[in-house]
Amino acid sequence: MASSDSATSPADHKRPRGLAPFLRSQMRNIAPFLTLIFLSGFFAIASPSFATIDNLGNILTQVSVTGIIAVGLTFVILCAEIDLSIASIANVTGIAVAYFTLQESYVNIANVPMPGIVAILLALALCALLGLVNALGLTMIGIPSFIMTLAMMQIAAGVSALLVRGQIAYKVPPLIATLGSGSIGGIPWIVIVAAVMLLGGHLVLTYTRFGRYVYMVGGNREAAEFAGLNVKLILGSVMVISAVCSGIGGMLGVAHFGSAQQNEFDTYLLDSIAAVVVGGTSLFGGRGGIGNTIVGLFVLGVLNNGLDHVNIDSFLKILIRGLILLAALIINVYAQRLREQAAE
């Protein structure tokens, strides 16, 4: 029997040989790094205040909520699906934890104040329930994820409106307040939470059976079904994971911003999708991961922070972000075509 070192697979013979084929095959991963290096160098030259340790801390803090939400979205996009409800679920969960905290004096029949952990668990249960509805719509009814999550975006926005009723809530449980706005040793807790969640997502995708199943479903759903995988269960699970990550980001975001109000997280939909896609995770599924998402987060963080340092027009800032996202989408699609050509 041949040893594992000498064994080769058909895929091995198709691996690109030479520098040019290798660069083309890795374009989805290389382009984000080059973009990050270019942006960092440009803003460091354009503004002396950009390339400082304090500003690096600012960038990490600014991308933390997006990073938490993007963890779950990475799972979804790796399965070649999309979740447009992440921002609305983040918003309704942040409002819910504040709402349940405000109700602590009379929600209990015995008039005993509700512990903060109960308010947190109720808010998490709400976002998990919304994610479960997304999962059931996608897997049991067969509604495309784009349409299902678009409907959920409106449902969650409606629940937010009912809870807040045009008001602004400021009180959250002490644990959420600490994790969202506190720090330890000069490092904001929200940065630590984001790092832990990104690391956890990476470990799950890289070293667990569930992570391998996610890549299999995203890479070739029909083959995954023939291999005996419960594809519907995997798809439903990633939708719930996405909702829970959004809910955690929403709760910590409310504490970080200092208030819970309607439409507070609307911009996080585009930011989270951009972080995943700009980082190089394939919209067609099966390629990418949390490492790519981290690079995408830094690209967006450096871009947004750097544009503030050079005092560029706010409207032009939106345009530039859109152009970079478009460039990432073009690279994403082109890389998929190269992959398909190599497989032929």
Secondary structure of 81-123 as H, E, C letters? CCCCCHHHHHHHHHHHHHHHHHHHHCCCCCCCCCCHHHHHHHH
Q: Check: CB of residue 338 under 8 Å from CB of residue 71.
A: no
pLDDT at 325: 75
37/179 Cα distance (integer angstroms): 31
Domains in the chain, please, with CATH?
52-343 (1.10.3470)
pLDDT at 70: 96
Q: What six digits make up the tokens of 28? A: 């989805």
Q: 101-110: long-range contacts at Cβ-Cβ below 8 A with a sequence spacing of 24 or more?
A: 101/169, 101/171, 101/172, 101/173, 102/169, 102/171
Q: What is the pLDDT along the chain (344 residues), one digit of tens a residue?
A: 444 443 333 344 445 555 656 556 566 677 788 888 988 998 899 888 888 899 999 999 999 999 999 999 999 999 999 999 999 999 999 999 988 886 554 444 444 455 788 889 999 999 999 999 999 999 999 999 999 999 999 999 999 998 888 788 778 889 999 999 999 988 999 999 999 999 999 999 999 999 999 999 999 999 999 988 999 999 999 999 999 999 999 999 999 998 888 888 988 998 999 999 888 888 888 888 999 999 999 999 998 888 888 877 777 878 887 887 787 778 767 776 766 565 55
Three-state secondary-structure class, residue 198? helix
pLDDT at 197: 97
